Amino acid sequence: MAEAPPEVTCQGLARTYGAGPDAVEAVRPLTLTFAAGQTTALVGPSGCGKSTLLRMIAGLEEPSAGSVGIGGQPPLAVRRRGGLSVAFQEAALLPWRTVEGNVALALRLARRPADPAAVAGLIRLVGLEGFERRRPAELSGGMRQRAAIARCLVTAPGLLLLDEPFGSVDELTRLRLNLDLPRLWQERGTTTILVTHSVSEAVLLSDRVLVLSPRPAAVVADIPVRLPRPRRAAMVRETRFLDLVDEIAAGLSEGGAAADRPLAAQ
Ligand SMILES: Nc1ncnc2c1ncn2[C@@H]1O[C@H](COP(=O)(O)OP(=O)(O)OP(=O)(O)O)[C@@H](O)[C@H]1O
């Protein structure tokens, strides 16, 4: 059964790696709310702290300060009951399990009943029909990423966290996933937070785009995307789409100078 989408709150959330003169401030205290059922894209320069922020929301990284609330609950508790799913750049599939086995395992780990129809449906949706019984080593990087996305979605989590999930997927498949997957989130009303380096992908997928500054991550622009859904491939050529892309790109370039240095050097 699908979980109700939660509101996600970050209260004074910060993360510094290391200590003393070599300390690296990845995220400076951030207070943010992600509305229930909305898709928010995080864009920002490489190394600015996007993954760190996402990992703290997922409960995979301890904040140095502040807290995360997912429907008012701590991330770890939500993750343990399968209420949130995470897909990262490197698709961490179990190498000894088939595609089908990897997707089905997510249900077992969340203590949900087996659901072969849901597993088969998601494998079809991500375009891996015919590869159900293949193991990860027999798949391309992009296929592994798609299998990981199917695994994420099978528990119908209330919160979906995606870190460059389409990084190794070819352009055509990426566009198809960009159009098809949001329909699924939309039907279920999933709260989704995703990190992407592609500004047009951010616009195509999201209801809101947060532009982050160079490290330490701070929000420099908060841009609502009021394009109708479902989004269509032809939209990427429309003026209103291109205007949003320009606005985000301007936010990125106005974000300030790169700061990939230890704290002591700033
Ligand atoms: N485990 C760690 N130990 C020390 N420093 C870290 C660690 N993880 C990340 N950092 C540093 O924190 C900063 C932010 O990293 P993060 O991976 O969050 O950036 P990002 O915006 O996701 O980057 P990219 O877009 O390149 O994936 C970087 O300077 C990185 O070197």
Question: Which residue among 16, 24, 30, 266 is best mutated to probe the pocket of ligand 1, counting the most ligand atoms within 8 A of its Cβ?
Answer: 24
The DSSP call for residue 191 is E
User: How confident is the model over 113-124, as a mean pLDDT?
Assistant: 94
* Interface predicted TM-score (ipTM) of this complex, two decimals: 0.96
Which superfamily, per CATH, for 8-83+157-265? P-loop containing nucleotide triphosphate hydrolases (3.40.50.300)
Q: For residue 31, how many other CB atoms are within 10 A of its CB? A: 11
- Pocket of ligand 1 contains residue 5 by CB under 6 Å: no
**How much distance in Å is there from the Cα of 49 to the middle of ligand 1?**
5
* CB-ligand 1 contact for 49 (6 Å cutoff): yes
Spatial distance between the Cα atoms of 104 and 180, rounded to a whole number of angstroms: 21
pLDDT tens per residue, range 149-184: 899 999 889 999 999 888 778 888 888 888 888 877
Let me know: does 263 contact 24? Beta carbons within 8 Å. Answer: yes
Q: What is the pLDDT of residue 202?
A: 94
| Whether residue 46 has its Cβ less than 6 Å from ligand 1 | yes
pLDDT tens figures, 3-31: 789 999 999 999 999 999 999 999 999 99
| Rounded percentage of the chain residues whose pLDDT exceeds 70 | 94
* Nearest CA, atom 20, ligand 1: 47
Could you count the other beta carbons within 10 Å of the beta carbon of residue 156?
Answer: 21
